[in-house]
Structure 1
């Protein structure tokens, strides 16, 4: 990635606590490169993920070739407040991150989401707009999918008291016991509203949670500009990301955000 931008060694993460529009505190951190740029990328983890995981940190470092990177934990996860709603109210978490980056002076902001975070990134862009590119990796196209053993186990985890207890004690994830009311629009219902921002849909053909059909449905529902990558041998979400895949995503973003202009963010 050195051909994109010299000097992308990350700084130490700068911690931040953000407040969502519905009053939930979000644990976040900003990683800055050595160069001054008006571009920022928000990275949204999958369910049970955290920005402190080595895999998530590797992805963030790769994206520093394009712009500064804000990582965060969704509500109900680790040090963030509230309870996880498994893809519903989490769009307000991502909106708080994007709004914070805009407030710092970044003039181009992209979102990159994994699994649940991919669904949130698609729904966020389709609901609020305000982003210049979206990358959805290993995301579901519709709710309540139970077609794989992994997803049946996940549903047990979020729907049953014993499952929620396990998630709370073993994974530091607090899941709400309330059913969705109303059921939020699924990613395919909002994918078309992302345009004119470009959308990249990435999915592995060895994903044990969601088969490739989900990526095809999201891509088909979206309007141009859009792109679809079906990755041979790739599994699910952050754990399936290699440095090479992360760098390819960074190159895709760089090609679409290189028109960035405007003042440098505060503190740079």
Structure 2
């Protein structure tokens, strides 16, 4: 009797903690731990202020699309200074919003690109009650790609560039059937899979093993958000990708371990390049060596923007939902 009561109490505690983990990591709630996590470097206030001033001075246009599951997804669009078919879609990180990518928006805009900065589902001004970690977001970014092709025209030349979770998003998107207008992808400090990064963070933050907490929380996630952690794999998606990909990762990244970059690089089937940035912590490669970051990205992007479009798998742009 006592043994049975003890087992029931243990099971109840496990369930309560798994519900807490879901709320902590997946549910749309303030992620205050991101500001205090020692593995998440904080950007200098001077840099934040400078980028914010640039952002506020630009004539961004608010744009909205509808996701495949009915969410209103918000983004900000910035026209190029001169007519061009070149454009970049920027994917932000965990608990962030589109304008967090303003430093990259400024870089691409200075190179003559049109810029789109979406707010991911469950973030910023977009609808959604959970964080997709790239798995459900991949469908959203296919929609954003379709939006840009419609806006620019069939001659559009698109770059996908994501940082942190945004890097995971663009890699997971790469495995979907994409139109030939998508020319290349830049992924900065991405993780290999949802399961792998949550397992790593469970150990880092809570000093706890993955089993049985991660499988049980994954079940909660499936019930509440519609996906198991094991489904969201950038590695698997890369096996379906043929687009050129540039991977960037800091060699001092302890939030998304640098070892994940090696796994991702090995999984890429198409043209690929990699830059491991000396001394860079998580999501700080641009700030650590801005000059080389800009030249590395620009050389890579220009190579594929200038090349003839490669035939894509058969895909028709869907009628746009009102």
Provide TM-score, normalisation by structure 1. Answer: 0.77
The aligned counterpart of 2:304 is 256
Matching of residue 225 in structure 1 with residue 271 in structure 2: yes
Alignment of 1:27-42 (within 5 A): 27-42=74-89
Kindly report structure 1 stretches of 4+ aligned residues shifted beyond 6 Å: none
> CA RMSD, aligned part only?
2.7
Q: Deviation at 1:248?
A: 3.2
Contact 2:250 2:276 in 1 (8 A): yes
Matching of residue 90 in structure 1 with residue 90 in structure 2: no
Provide TM-score, normalisation by structure 2. Answer: 0.65
The aligned counterpart of 2:193 is 142
Listed as ranges, the gaps of 5+ residues in structure 2 are 1-54, 215-222, 310-322
Matching of residue 187 in structure 1 with residue 187 in structure 2: no
Contact 1:63 1:247 in 2 (8 A): no
Q: Deviation at 1:93?
A: 1.9
Equivalent position SS for 2:99:
coil
Distance 2:113 2:270 in 1: 24
Contact 1:63 1:246 in 2 (8 A): no
Q: Deviation at 1:119?
A: 1.3
Alignment of 1:1-268 (within 5 A): 11-53=58-100, 56-64=101-109, 65=111, 67-83=113-129, 84-106=131-153, 107-130=156-179, 131-145=182-196, 146-147=199-200, 152=205, 177-178=224-225, 180-181=227-228, 183-195=230-242, 197-237=243-283, 239-242=284-287, 243-244=290-291, 245-259=293-307
Greater helix content: 2
Instruction: Report Cα offsets for 1:207-227 as digits up to 9, x if no partner.
Output: 121222111111101123111
Distance 1:179 1:18 in 2: 21
Distance 1:111 1:25 in 2: 21
Rg bigger for which structure? 2
Q: Deviation at 1:182?
A: 7.9
Instruction: Report Cα offsets for 1:4-37 as digits up to 9, x if no partner.
Output: xxxxx99511110111122111110111221111
Q: Deviation at 1:181?
A: 4.1
